[in-house]
Amino acid sequence: MTNDFTIIVPVYNEQDCLPQLFVQLKEYIQKASLKTKVLLVDDGSTDASPTMIKEFCSKNEGFGYLLFEKNFGKGAALKAAFDHTDTAFLGYLDADLQTYPEDFEKLLPFLGEYDLVTGWRKERKDTLVKRISSKVGNGVRNLFTKDFMHDTGCPLKVMKTEYAVNMPMFKGLQRFLPAMVLLQNGKINEVEIPHYPRLAGKSKYNFRNRFMGPLLDCFAYVWMKKSYINYKVAEKNE
């Protein structure tokens, strides 16, 4: 039986989270509603993450990996994974264990009607500073993108692969996935999901990369939106 769903997991220096993440992913793909495989993308980690990923994937069917030669950023990791996905549907999950693979089941039922479904971490389990900066950043993005998502940066999403592969790559891509689907005249939806406190590893975010970086990315998005080419062929001869 061929796979229908690929879970993409970008990883950057998450050696403390990986053992439990592997357990959760392995348990989930055994009971998932779709035939599922996993693609782990290491974004130039400097800890033991690449070695752990290679060892785990070599021993477990349904798990594959991409290893970057250096750190290129989460947007690049996602784009590389999109380009290496061969299933009709894909999902995106962070490696920090603050969202769980089992919650894909809350999103997948909506993929018939919608082209992207994103989670909404309504009850955040982050520090006050992180919650405030995320709320401000999300509000700024909404001003630019008009996707009107409560939590566009939620690291738990599912989408139809045909929309993912048509997204142009740019820094900060992960913050604009709903908007990028709207650019292709796709339909998006938001579903409330649980959020969990980080129990291992360290957050990679601070004020600069949670607010200032995304703000600059918004200007890149506006330029890209004006230049974006979207066409459909009505007829062709064979």
Q: Please give the full DSSP string across 128-197, using - where no structure is assigned.
A: HHHHHHHHHHHHHHHHHH----S-TT-SEEEEEHHHHTTSPP-TTGGGGHHHHHHHTT--EEEEE-----
The separation between CA 74 and the C-alpha centre of its own chain, rounded to angstroms, equals 9
Q: Which residue has the tokens 């900060």?
A: 172
The residue extents of the domains of the chain are 5-227
Radius of gyration of the chain (CA): 17
Per-residue b or e along 219-233, where b marks 16 or more CB atoms closer than 10 Å to that residue's CB: eebeebeeeeeeeee
| CA 174/CA 188 separation, integer angstroms | 15
Cα diameter, the chain: 60
| CA 186/CA 205 separation, integer angstroms | 30
Indicate the angle between helix axes 49-59 and 18-31, nearest 10 degrees.
Answer: 30
Per-residue b or e along 5-19, where b marks 16 or more CB atoms closer than 10 Å to that residue's CB: bbbbbbbbbbbbbbe
CATH 3.90.550.10 fits 5-227, yes or no: yes
Neighbours of 192 (CB within 10 A): 14
pLDDT tens string, the chain, 238 residues long: the values are: 567 999 999 999 999 999 999 999 999 999 999 999 999 999 999 999 999 999 999 999 999 999 999 999 988 999 999 999 999 999 999 999 989 999 999 999 999 899 999 998 876 655 555 655 566 566 566 656 666 677 777 889 999 999 999 887 777 777 788 888 988 889 999 999 987 766 665 655 555 555 556 666 666 666 666 666 666 667 777 6
pLDDT at 190: 94
Give residue-wise pLDDT tens across range 88-105.
Answer: 999 999 999 989 999 999
